[in-house]
Amino acid sequence: MEAQYLIGVFDEEESMLTAFRRMKEEELEIEDVFTPYPIHEVLDNHGRKSKITIVGWFYGLFAALGVLAFLVYTAVIDWPLNYGGKPSSAFPSFIVVTIILTILSITILSLGTFSWRANLWPSNEKPIYHDRATDDKFVILVKKENVDQNKASSLFKETGASEILEK
Amino acid sequence: MEERLKLSRIYIIACLSMIVIGIAALVVAFIGDPQRAWANYLLNNVYFLSLAVGAMFFLSIQRVSHSGWSAGFIRVPEAMGAYIPIAAVLFLLLIPGAHSLYHWSHADAVSHDSLLAHKAPYLNLPFWVIRMVVFFGLWILMTWLIRRLSRREDLSGGLSFFKKGEHYAKIFIFIVIITFSFAMIDWIMSIDAHWYSTIFAIKNFVAAFHHAAIIIVFIVLILNQRGYFPFLSKSHVGDFSRYIFMLCIIWGYFWFTEFMLIWYANIPEETTYFITRVRGEGWRPFFFANLLINWFLPFVLLMPKAIGQNKLVVKIVIPVLIVGQFIDLYLQIFPGTVGKQVLGFQEIGIFVGFAGLFMLVVGYALSRGNLYPVNHPYLEECKHHHT
């Protein structure tokens, strides 16, 4: 199979960031960046802000309303039971269950969403672009079809990439 | 980086006139209804002591966790700790009012009441005073040690002060959790001497921590507006509002735990406390306002990151929460002492007076030393904090 990606490998955070900034300036499209630790500049300027928090909020809203509706249906509408003489629509007693199940739903649904978006299903083989990416190397990945290859590789060279690969 | 806070003449005059208003309101209240005056006096004492102790606890947490982000601002909680000795004096003046506030302090009431007689070995006036003195002694000692270390670090530098400060912070956390819990039982819960709640102390402790964090943020933001703390960034504001957000959840959690267990168990001795506050005349709006202001408002408003980083929103939320803490303590103290719902110029005036005193003490303590801990090992990290 023909190589799809051009990969710049850097030893230092600073040189990778220089390459990152210059690529942003010259409007070369970056596919992904792999770093050993989170780098705020990359997170903020990569242009791929995660929307998982917003999704998580809606999961929470959905779960809270869903659990409350379920509790009201089971304990008030469908089968009212008398517990200690309290009214069957005893709102304070629903809250704990709602909180716990909301947290559980957010966790599981967000995990599912994240796995789906990041292609992390168990059967899915995730390509590893460089063996030491996220270990001690800083790796910038560009898609060949999106950028001018010569320009990108010369930029990598100028900013001090230790390796330039195609994969 | 050396900079000192200069208190403007207007600030001092404003504080002093607030104190004068407070004294006038207190005198008027004493002439009208001594019990109401004592209840107000207790409420405001607990309110501002909570802020001071909570601020020292905040500081200790930062020390123990080696927090870098807050290192530049630690002078603010330190200055709030300077209020504790003043609070000690004000609390000692509360002793003559004990008879107006605590019905367990009346010998004839105890002799007719087997429950109070049973509690008498703990709930008696001499022991109550001794405990108060011990609590304040420990707090003043620890606050003095921690603040002195921080000042000496400024002069000579070096890591030894930081390490020692961490050690003292651990001791302070240990002491304050126990003593503040007992203090809250002594001063507030014993108003309703027949009633008890095992979660009461920690709930009030969290309330103190919650509202102290709010005041710390408030002072930082006001000083920043006046040109101090030039390194304050969006990330700092975001982290401060995360603190408020986190503490409002814990506060709401404990509030609900106390309420729900009592509501669920439905034991008459316990439920009377809440029946007075939910169904009693005039208290009901305060009961729900308490939950709405202290939990719901910061929970909803500060949840999105972008809003939490907005100084203006945080500045709007804080004054509302200052009122929130007042309502929280008002609901705990007034039904058991005054008995009927009263909220007039006495309450507001006395609160204003105490606020003036607190502002004066904290402002003076801040202006005494360097505003930034110049030799703090994490100061540089704080300046470049980014989330």
- For the segment A87-96, the average pLDDT, to the nearest whole number, is 87
Task: Report yes or no: A34 and A133 within 8 Å, Cβ to Cβ.
Answer: yes
Which segments of chain A belong to CATH 3.30.70.3450? Answer: 5-49+134-166
Q: Which domain holds residue B219?
A: 9-371
The reported pTM is 0.90
The verdict on A38 touching B (C-beta cutoff 8 Å) is no
Look up the ipTM and state it.
Answer: 0.79
Q: Which residue of B has its CA nearest to A91?
A: B260
Is B253 contained in some domain? Answer: yes
Question: How many other CB atoms are there within 10 angstroms of residue A75's CB atom?
Answer: 17
- Residue B126 resides in a domain: yes
* Tokens found for residue B148: 């002195």
The predicted structure's pLDDT at residue B2: 76
Chain segment B4-15, per-residue pLDDT in tens:
888 889 999 999
CB A106 within 8 A of CB A56: yes
Give pLDDT, residue A1. Answer: 57
Per-residue pLDDT tens for B134-191? Answer: 999 999 999 999 999 988 888 888 888 999 999 999 999 999 999 999 999 999 999 9
Pick from B263, B386, B387: CB nearest A92? B263
B259 touches chain A (CB under 8 A): yes
Does B382 reside within a domain?
Answer: no
Say which of A53, A85, A92 has its CB closest to residue B260.
A92
Classify residue B311: in a domain, yes or no. yes
Sign of the four-CA dihedral A69, A72, A77, A81: positive
Nearest CA in chain A to B266: A84
Interchain CB contact of A53 with B (< 8 Å): yes
pLDDT grade, residue A160 (50/70/90)? confident
Which of B264, B303, B305 is facing A93, going by the closest CB pair?
B264
Q: How many CB pairs under 8 A join A and B?
A: 17
Phi, psi (degrees; rounded to nearest 5) at A164: -130, 120
Q: B264 and A96 in contact by Cβ < 8 A? A: no
Question: Is the pLDDT at B221 greater than 90, yes or no?
Answer: yes
Q: Which helix (H) or strand (E) holds B232?
A: none
Asked whether the predicted pLDDT for residue B28 surpasses 80, the reply is yes
The tens digit of pLDDT for each residue in B256-300 reads: 999 999 998 889 889 999 999 998 888 999 999 999 999 999 999
Which of A146-155, B147-156, B205-214, B376-385 is the most confident on average? B205-214
Residues B332, B192: contact at Cβ < 8 Å?
Answer: no
Residue B236 has pLDDT above 90, yes or no: yes
Residues 6+ apart with CB under 8 A from B329: B43, B46, B47, B188
Which is higher by pLDDT, A136 or B132? B132
Q: What is the pLDDT of residues B29-50, one digit of tens each?
A: 999 999 999 999 999 999 999 9
Chain A contact for B267, CB < 8 A?
no
Most B CBs within 10 A among A96, A97, A100, hence the mutation to make, goes to A96
Q: What is the pLDDT of residue A41?
A: 84
Residue carrying the six token digits 């809003």: B307
Does residue B356 carry a pLDDT above 70? yes
Contact B239, B73 (CB under 8 A): no
Q: How much is the pLDDT for A13?
A: 87
Instruction: Give the closest-approach CA distance of A95 to chain B in angstroms.
Output: 9
**Which residues 229-258 on chain B approach chain A with CB closer than 8 angstroms?**
256
What is the average per-residue pLDDT within B215-237?
92
Residue of B nearest to A92 (CA): B260
Q: What pLDDT shows up at residue B170?
A: 95
Measured in degrees and rounded to the nearest 5, phi and psi for residue B370 equal -70, 135
Q: What total number of domains does chain B contain?
A: 1
What does the pLDDT average to over B67-75? 91
HEC profile of B172-190: HHHHHHHHHHHHHHHHCHH
Which token pair is B163? 């390490």
What's the CA gap between B113 and B277, in Å, rounded?
Answer: 24
The answer to whether B219 and B76 are in contact (CB under 8 A) is yes
Partners of residue A95 in chain B, C-beta under 8 Å: 256, 260
pLDDT the model gives residue B92: 94
Mean pLDDT of chain B: 92
Q: Is residue B4 part of a domain?
A: no
Lowest mean pLDDT among A2-6, B103-107, B221-225: A2-6
Does a structural domain hold residue B384? no
- Closest approach of A121 to chain B, Cα-based (Å): 30
Token digits of residue B155: 């002069």
Total H helices, total E strands in chain B: 18, 0
A50 touches chain B (CB under 8 A): no
Residue A133 backbone dihedrals phi, psi, to 5 degrees: -65, 140
Residue B64 makes CB contacts below 8 A (sequence gap 6+) with B166, B169, B170, B173
Give CA angle at B382 (B381, B385), nearest 5°: 85
- Confirm or reject contact between B9 and chain A (CB < 8 A): no
pLDDT band at A158 (very low <50, low <70, confident <90, very high): confident
- What pLDDT is attached to residue A121? 81
What pLDDT, on a 0 to 100 scale, did the predictor assign at position B252? 94
Identify the weakest region by mean pLDDT among A98-102, B25-29, B75-79, B337-341: B337-341
Which 3 state secondary structure label does DSSP give A34? strand
Q: Which two tokens stand for residue A161?
A: 């990439």
d(CA B72, CA B55): 15
Residue B294 and residue B306 in contact, taking contact as beta carbons nearer than 8 Å = no
Distance CA B64, CA B60 (A): 6
CATH class of A5-49+134-166: alpha beta
pLDDT of residue A133: 82
Please state, for a pLDDT cut of 90, what percent of chain A lies above it.
25
d(CA B259, CA B250) in angstroms, rounded, equals 14
Give the model's pLDDT for residue B204: 95
Residue B81 confidence (pLDDT) above 90 = yes
The whole-number average pLDDT for the span A71-91 is 86
**Both tokens of residue A80?**
């009212």
